[in-house]
Structure 1
């Protein structure tokens, strides 16, 4: 944990502190004749002081929890002894792919070629005189702080973010390889997904990453509200898009198990249907048609409870889901996006009115 704190401090010292010092030297911390001084750039501070530490924190949290999720395939005996070598090979391959130096070099190249040259310059940079860029002869020119921002700070942040997308891809690749193995699914498992319900915990493992996206979106919107006169309601499409994107990012990899789940549900319906048929006929013959031994009491017999248990098992099989997606997962994911946006509600509703509504709801 101490090493984690050091990493957070290191990234903040590399990405944010030089910008503060350069801006102070330029006299643009509070004003300096620019429309957006350094300390007023909310998006910047949220990105490097909140979102980036969450991305670093996620490395520890995700590594610990995902490792436990993978081990559950063995602990729950979902992999047969015959297929266990294939499973181990897939896990080792994923570890090598995740730690690939070549992949990280390609990510750095992508950051500079696409993230900076295209996405930042054309979609996220403010169209105003700011602490990082001024005008000279009618053309925008980066300041000393701007040069560090564009060629060091922003690439580091984008690399951390892009590396997480790459790791999600590695996770999806591992799950795809596991889904090629014939899993020992149980249609009557009480989790409603054949015993794979533990995989839904991946959304909890990725919670720091989800929060980082929510915080990043809130910072971007806050900057536009403060400096371009936009309103929070102008970003409904962006908010919906990020929720859908994160839902696909987190739940998309789990869809690879849908084929086996659907197959297990059909097989379970047949098997438990035959079992129920045999039991119901025996029950009918014994207790309805007079086949019970003389003197055996009906009251207190375990046969009725067993009949009820068979019915419950049939209901579990029939209601088995073929998609590893639950309402709780969607609510948690949406909460990670919307929670950072709550402070921005005061931009469209006065604080006293908001307080009255909260009191009315709570009391």
Structure 2
């Protein structure tokens, strides 16, 4: 159902979600663990499993289409804006073909599946993610580790691997994106230091990060689901998760913005060169301006009023200021704030476990206004 055109998104969302979640509902009912208080975490009260498979999984699938549609025209912008010199277009095209080959690699996805079962399920899920001290609808802790129920076997060996595969596949796609940008950064780009975007003409790359916003929302939802289970069933408080929340936000921001840093060396070089060249030009112009208008060098009869010399001096100063304030990475503060908010928004409702809705709204309005 996943072809190169990224069609059938609705079908993929429906089928994958149902395969991951619906059998758990049926098997948990057969085990008698839907709402049965014989276990501390009944299936219907397990927020983590519902948010993971009914919210995060659909978002991860839909985000693939969003990223595909938004990044495709952005990569073409390298050519449309003449940033790739004509003698390097072949290298650029090869970088694109290489990215597509890696994205469509069956061998790479088989390795991801092997990693999911070898590490994701047997190590990460069983040892660190699953609740180890509480009887749940999917497992009961014992001296020898977790004893899985009937629903637990489907959860641990079908549902969780599906989720982990989609997640790790996204990390693999981000690796492909990073690799592509790195290959492009090895080309000697045609950067213009005086470009008004203040990143030599690469300002359009700042918009690429918004394509990954859905991915960050999915991570925020998963984080909120884990916190919710530990708050409701393990007696934890939301304030205990400050370090985990901060670490996740920092990790995701580095994951999304990090690839853009590959252009830092060329942008820094373009800035240094621009400061040198435009500094020399400004020096020459202001000396001639000084000689002409202050040292008596102006032709007889030439009026100062109406002359374009002062306007040209101001324009030159503006151009030099653009070069001086040029950034060495196409990253904006607005993008950082928005993407951090995308991670944190799903966690905000958990504040209701510590205060009333009225108090929460007052605090939020206080921050905004």
Q: Number of aligned pairs?
A: 363
Q: Counterpart in 1 of 2:79?
A: 74
Deviations 1:151-178 (A, max 9, x none): 1110000000000000100111111111
Q: Counterpart in 2 of 1:338?
A: 344
Are 1:327 and 2:333 an aligned pair? yes
Q: 1:136 to 1:233 in 2, by over 3 A?
A: closer
Give the distance between the partners of 1:245 and 1:262, measured in 2 at CA: 25
Coordinate RMSD, CA, aligned: 1.8
Give the distance between the partners of 1:83 and 1:27, measured in 2 at CA: 65
Give the distance between the partners of 1:82 and 1:220, measured in 2 at CA: 52
In the alignment, structure 1 segments of 5+ residues that lack a partner are none
Shift of 1:196: 0.9
Among 315, 319, 323, the residue aligned to 1:313: 319
Q: 1:300 to 1:63 in 2, by over 3 A?
A: same
Give the distance between the partners of 2:41 and 2:25, measured in 1 at CA: 14
Give the distance between the partners of 1:261 and 1:135, measured in 2 at CA: 55
TM-score normalised to structure 1 length = 0.96
TM-score normalised to structure 2 length = 0.94
Give the distance between the partners of 1:361 and 1:123, measured in 2 at CA: 35
Give the distance between the partners of 2:365 and 2:107, measured in 1 at CA: 56
Alignment of 1:292-303 (within 5 A): 292-303=298-309
Are 1:143 and 2:149 an aligned pair? yes
Deviations 1:100-139 (A, max 9, x none): 0000000000000110011111111012111111368976
Give the distance between the partners of 1:22 and 1:79, measured in 2 at CA: 57
Q: Counterpart in 2 of 1:97?
A: 102
Q: 1:291 to 1:362 in 2, by over 3 A?
A: closer
Among 6, 15, 25, the residue aligned to 1:10: 15
Are 1:27 and 2:32 an aligned pair? yes
Give the distance between the partners of 2:14 and 2:66, measured in 1 at CA: 18
Among 54, 58, 63, the residue aligned to 1:58: 63
Are 1:185 and 2:191 an aligned pair? yes
In the alignment, structure 2 segments of 5+ residues that lack a partner are 1-5
Shift of 1:361: 6.6
Q: 1:263 to 1:358 in 2, by over 3 A?
A: closer
Among 229, 236, 240, the residue aligned to 1:230: 236
